[in-house]
Amino acid sequence: MSRAFDRVWRQLLITKLHNYFSIRGRALPWISDFLWDRSIRVKYNNCLSGPFTIRQGVPQGSVLSPVLFSLYITGIEKVLAKLCEVGIFTDDIIVWSSGSDVGENKLKLNRAMEEAHSFAEMHKLIFNAFKSLTTFFSTNRHLFNYQPKISMNGIQLCYVKNAKYLGYTLDQEITSNKHIARQVIKARKRLNVLKFISGRDWGVEASTLRTTFISLIRPVLELSIPIYSCASDTNLNKLERVQLCAARIITGLRYSCQIDIVLFESNLPSLSKRRLYSLTRYFNKLYSYNEQHRTSAYLHAWINNRRLMKHSPFSYARTLNIHYSDVEPHSLSFTGAGLELDGIYFHDQLLTSVTKSSEIPAL
């Protein structure tokens, strides 16, 4: 989308919150006051312009804006689900169709693009065809170079073999090697920061170097762990070598020193142990959800007897036996759109006068 947050039609947003999500009480006026009467000023060469009133959109940088935008585009998933599968993360939308008939899948996707364009026009949004991409996956080697022609608003979408979605690089071989290769390159560039601040004469302490690695480099290595965890040992060892280089910079130990000693001195657990810990938390959290959670329902119905699924993340998790039967079910219940919700009210003052330091107010 182009300027997604700036193009939110406030009147329609308030209407959907009232009619579609049944938000009542003081919450709706509070959200309305949060959006209206906002203004901006532009500063250029020490000159400040007058105030300019913003009549549409949600504030950039606010923690409430992504939630309001997600509620605003609610309904597009039902429009697209009639033709294809759809996944939405705020303003990042992915649409796909699978089947043995390539022509039929292409036809469904083109119709889905037309429906998405109509939905965007009704909501005053713009789907940018130049930022949208298409890709194709097939086990048929004769279709390896096939490029489907998908159009949006009369513009043919660009085709790429290795598309990127939410930071993860897709590859046709489904081996995660493209994603790992990109993350290794990105992490090695950031290793230069450690090398720069670890000079022998004026370098910072090892604790500072370790904190820098944990906050700046390790998140790059661990991005999309649940997906690439089933990659080959060759690819996973590439990530381990990046951390080992960082550990040697932190400790100052030579390359002749054993790996276990270097990691112990740097107080860094191996990435394989951290992956196991992350997978245990992730998959047990999915198991705790009920069938109304989309990914949880897919996991519960998983059958490990299909082609290309023997080395999938779900199969790998079952191989590790990280699912615990005593996981407590999730207590949150699913509330679908269109159901009557209880009104949300805010107390504008305490009901009783109390001493803050000694008593808890009764609300």
Alpha-carbon distance 273 to 226, whole Å? Answer: 13
pTM, to two decimals = 0.76
3-state secondary structure 269-301: CCHHHHHHHHHHHHHHHHHHCCCCCHHHHHHHC
225 in Cβ contact with 311 (< 8 Å): no
Taking only the tens of pLDDT, the chain with its 363 residues reads 788 888 888 889 998 988 888 887 888 888 888 888 888 888 888 899 988 888 888 888 888 999 999 999 888 888 888 888 888 888 888 999 988 888 899 999 999 999 998 998 888 888 888 888 999 988 788 888 889 899 988 889 999 988 888 889 988 877 889 999 999 999 999 999 998 888 766 678 888 999 999 999 999 999 998 888 888 889 999 999 999 999 999 988 888 888 889 989 999 999 999 988 888 888 888 878 777 777 777 777 766 655 555 567 777 777 777 766 666 776 555 444 444 434 434 343 434 444 444 444 443
pLDDT at 108: 92
Sorted by sequence, the CB contacts under 8 Å of residue 3 that are 6+ apart come out as 126
CA distances to 17, 38, 338 from 27, in Å: 10, 19, 17
Reported as type and span, the H/E element at residue 159 is strand 158-159
The per-residue pLDDT for 309 is: 53
| pLDDT for the residue 242 | 94
